[in-house]
Amino acid sequence: MSDHRKVRNAKPNQAPADTPHRGATRGGAPLLPPPQSDDTRLAIEIRELVEAGSMDEARERFADIVSMHQRRALRIAFQYLRDSAEADEAVQDAFVKVFTHIGSYREAWPFEVWFTRILINGCLDRRKSRARRERWFVPGDEHSQESATESTGSRSDPDPEERLLARERRGKLAAAIDRLDGRQRTVFMLCHYGDCSPREVSAMTGINESTVRVHLFRAVRKLRGFLGGKS
């Protein structure tokens, strides 16, 4: 759970201590300011539009950002929450929050990092509140979730046996990821499902980059062990 606190403590508009623009080095490699990506440039543009009061135009541009990050965001949120409705809400909330606070966005961070951190914080909040709920209430019917997956998956996989096996594999993988230590899980999620580099994960979580690498390696080793592969 300590990773949760790390992510939580870092404010979205606050540049991390190890941001590339400060010219710090990590592991011997110089951290030069990366060239601005498309989404970062777009985010800066939206911020300027919002500051100028052109809200309609800002919203139009923001739609591009949504389509750029939507799939990735859903992948992260769904793997984190294991519930499509909740993942849907988490992603929506993250985008709305980003737009609401676009004025506090600083280009010292790539937009993707900033956005992902907001998304992850939302997911962690939801996981926490879900755990709180499950302490008091009987959990709902999990079958509905499974059947929803099955029904939507039926279009791509015509073979029922293959579909069943794939579902079983996914279930095993999800259970294995759930068994990971909180910090390892976050690092694995961000690196593997969020397409973030260890350096970006370090910027998001405030964990040292080499520590991120160690956590990632250990997470993968554990997962392979849980899933019957090599540990």
Q: How far is the CB of 162 from other proteins (least distance, A)?
A: 11
Distance between CA atoms of residues 231 and 223, nearest Å? 8
Residue in 74, 106, 127, 182 binding other proteins, rule: CB under 8 A: 74
Q: Residue 114: phi, psi to the nearest 5?
A: -60, -45
By the rule CB under 8 A, 33 interacts with other proteins: no
By the rule CB under 8 A, 70 interacts with other proteins: yes
Residue in 8, 26, 75, 106 binding other proteins, rule: CB under 8 A: 75
Beta bridge partners, 25, equal: 30
Q: How far is the CB of 133 from other proteins (least distance, A)?
A: 21
Distance between CA atoms of residues 15 and 109, nearest Å? 7
Q: Which of 12, 231, 5 is nearest to 118 (CA)?
A: 12
From residue 58, how far is each of 24, 41, 106 by CA, in Å?
A: 34, 13, 17
Distance between CA atoms of residues 141 and 109, nearest Å? 41
Our CB check for other proteins shows the closer of 108 and 214 to be 214
From residue 148, how far is each of 19, 138, 152, 153 by CA, in Å?
A: 42, 21, 6, 8
Residue in 39, 166, 208, 226 binding other proteins, rule: CB under 8 A: 166
**Terminal CA-to-CA distance of the chain, rounded, Å?**
23
Which residues 167-226 are close enough to bind other proteins by CB under 8 A?
A: 169-170, 173, 191-193, 197-198, 213-214, 216-217, 220-221, 223-224
- Please count the residues of this chain forming the interface with other proteins, following the rule CB under 8 A: 47
Judged by the rule CB under 8 A, the positions of this chain that interact with other proteins are: 50, 55, 59, 62-63, 66-67, 70-71, 74-75, 78-79, 84, 87-88, 91-92, 95-96, 99-100, 148-149, 152-153, 155-156, 166, 169-170, 173, 191-193, 197-198, 213-214, 216-217, 220-221, 223-224, 229-230
